[in-house]
């Protein structure tokens, strides 16, 4: 067994203290059998029915998100390995869920920048064209 003694640490020097008034808990707090008493309901009781009106246009709602200037989204990237599943083979076959996501982002931020490649972007190469009308391969 090894030990290290450190002298003169301030404010960690030894000080005399009294013992605390609480005794050690023999079980974990999760198994504590203390029963909490609910507070008394105030008079008159608070209301429990509310009218909530919702806007159809996100731009009409103040404080919905932080203000964005132009395409203010920090980053959006699509990994090359799942590109065909997300975007489709070419521009005529773009997947509807992806279009809905882009429409929502554009409505809320005014624009969106998509980076193709994700983690494998450094391995992607630019080619002059692809056969069969493909956009990505």
Q: Cα 126–128–132 angle (5° rounding)?
A: 105
- Residue 37 CA to residue 42 CA, distance in Å, equals 15
In 3D, which of 81, 113, 106, 82 has the Cα closest to residue 95?
Answer: 82
The rounded percent of the chain whose pLDDT value lies above 90 is 0
Instruction: Encode pLDDT of 5-42 as tens digits.
Output: 666 656 655 556 666 666 666 778 778 888 889 888 88
Query: pTM higher than 0.75 for the full model?
Result: no
Q: Is residue 49 part of a domain?
A: no
Q: Is residue 83 part of a domain?
A: yes
Q: Which residues 6+ apart lie within 8 Å of 61 measured at CB?
A: 55
Residue 2 has pLDDT above 70, yes or no: no
Instruction: Encode pLDDT of 46-58 as tens digits.
Output: 788 888 888 888 7
Q: Is residue 115 part of a domain?
A: yes
Q: Is residue 20 part of a domain?
A: no
Q: Is residue 46 part of a domain?
A: no
Domain residue limits at 105: 74-136
DSSP one-letter code for 63: T
Q: Is residue 102 part of a domain?
A: yes
Helices and strands in the chain: count of H runs, count of E runs: 2, 2
What's the average model confidence in pLDDT over 71-77?
64
What are the distances in angstroms from CA 71 to CA 64, 68, 83, 107?
16, 7, 22, 10
- Based on the structure, what is the number of domains in the chain? 1
Q: Cα 55–58–59 angle (5° rounding)?
A: 110
Q: Is residue 34 part of a domain?
A: no
Residue 72 has pLDDT above 60, yes or no: no
Residue 101 has pLDDT above 80, yes or no: yes
Q: Is residue 67 part of a domain?
A: no
């Amino acid at each position: 067994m090894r030990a290290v003694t450190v002298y003169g640490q301030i404010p960690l020097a030894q000080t005399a203290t009294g013992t605390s008034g609480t005794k050690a808990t023999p079980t974990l707090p999760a198994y504590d059998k203390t029963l909490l008493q609910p507070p008394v309901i105030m008079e008159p009781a608070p209301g429990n029915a509310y009218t909530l009106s919702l806007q159809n246009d996100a731009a009409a709602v103040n404080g919905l998100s932080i203000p964005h200037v132009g395409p203010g989204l920090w980053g959006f990237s699509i990994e090359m390995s799942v590109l065909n599943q997300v975007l489709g083979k070419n521009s005529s076959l773009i997947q509807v869920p992806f279009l809905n996501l882009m429409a929502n982002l554009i409505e809320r931020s005014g624009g969106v920048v998509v980076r193709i490649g994700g983690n494998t972007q450094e391995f992607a190469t630019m080619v002059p064209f692809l056969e069969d009308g493909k956009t990505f391969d």
